[in-house]
Each structure stands twice: as structure tokens, then as C-alpha cells.
Structure 1
């Protein structure tokens, strides 16, 4: 993932700077796919995903068929938001996602 790794690192770093965001999973540099999960304090994951649609962003939310893991993370009721970077993701899209989360 030559293209996805730097973008997901940029996304992780940007989200980590937002006080209301909690990230789940290994940090950049650890072996991982260019996908990350997060929550926004005080907002169910479905609401975060709906609000980000207003910024032209389409993220998934829920437990991603990992109910036990999400339950152990203490997020069974609201789930997680998942974002990923791929070969066609642009840095502008990452910036738009960060701006959208900051606006929540």
C-alpha cells in the first residue's frame, strides 16, 4: 500500500489531534491495513457517519461483524466509525474528513 499507508498515517495523526476523538487499533508504523476505527465522544457512530455525509464523505459505522471486539472496547451500544485509504484516495479527501470531524 504505497499510497494508502502515508494517507492513513496522515489521517491517524490528524484525528489524534482532535480532543473528542478516540482511535482504535494499532498506530501508524505497525503492520496494518490502511483502515482505522474511531469514535467521537458523545455521538453514536451512526450520527457521526450521517453528519460526515454533509461533507461528501461516506464512512461505515457499527461493529463490522466483530461484535465481541466492539463489546470489549465498550462500544457495543454505539459502535465504531471506520475510514480507510486506498489507491484512489486523495490527500484532499483526508483533509476533508479531518475538517468534517473537527466540525462535529
Structure 2
């Protein structure tokens, strides 16, 4: 339940940003608590580096799903992936959202 609330907070926040594109099913469906996204004009590695400077750690790349990433039109830069773990706080989600807004 808590994880569902956090992933919903993250999804809804990113969805409001015109420069962010989300991939995958929305919250409320059966899914893992991770979100894949891209930022228009910013390679995924740069998104990860800029968020890391804010203390937000995300992963980037193709996540061993190169064919999927290619079909999404995101090769060679791949996607950014953020997740909500059992210890993730709402404040940490907000920090990611602020960082993404500034990209």
C-alpha cells in the first residue's frame, strides 16, 4: 500500500512534466514499483548524473532489454529507471520530481 502510494506520487508528478515521457503501465495496475522515463533532449546518463548531484540515485540504459528499448526508439541512450523501495520516503520522491523539473 505504501509502495503503491509512492509510485503513484512519482508517476503523477512526472506525468505533469511536458519534457518527460513515461513508459509502462500506470499505477493501479499489476506492476513493480519502478518507473521508466526519458527527458526530451537529455541522454539518460546525463539525467542520472544530474539527479545524483541532488542525492537521487536512478539507473539508466537498456536494462538487458535492448530490443524493447530499440523498438521504443530510445537506443542508444536508453531509459532512466527510478524505483520506490520499502525504505523510500515521500520526501525522496519529491526530491526526484524537483530535480526532473529542472532538467
Q: Do these two structures clear the TM 0.5 threshold for a shared fold by scoring above it?
A: yes
Distance 1:30 1:69 in 2: 20
The number of equivalent residue pairs is 103
1:13 equivalent in structure 2: 12
Is this contact kept in 2: 1:3–1:86, CA < 8 A? no
- 1:82-103, Cα deviation, whole Å (9 max, x unpaired): 0000110000000000000001
TM-score of the pair, normalised by structure 2: 0.98
Counterpart of 2:85 in structure 1 is 86
Q: Gapped runs of 5+ residues in structure 1?
A: none
Normalising to structure 1: TM-score of the pair?
0.97
What's 1:23 paired with? 22
Unaligned regions of 5+ residues in structure 2, if any? none
Following superposition, the deviation at residue 78 of structure 1 comes to: 1.0
Superposition RMSD on alpha carbons, in Å?
A: 0.6
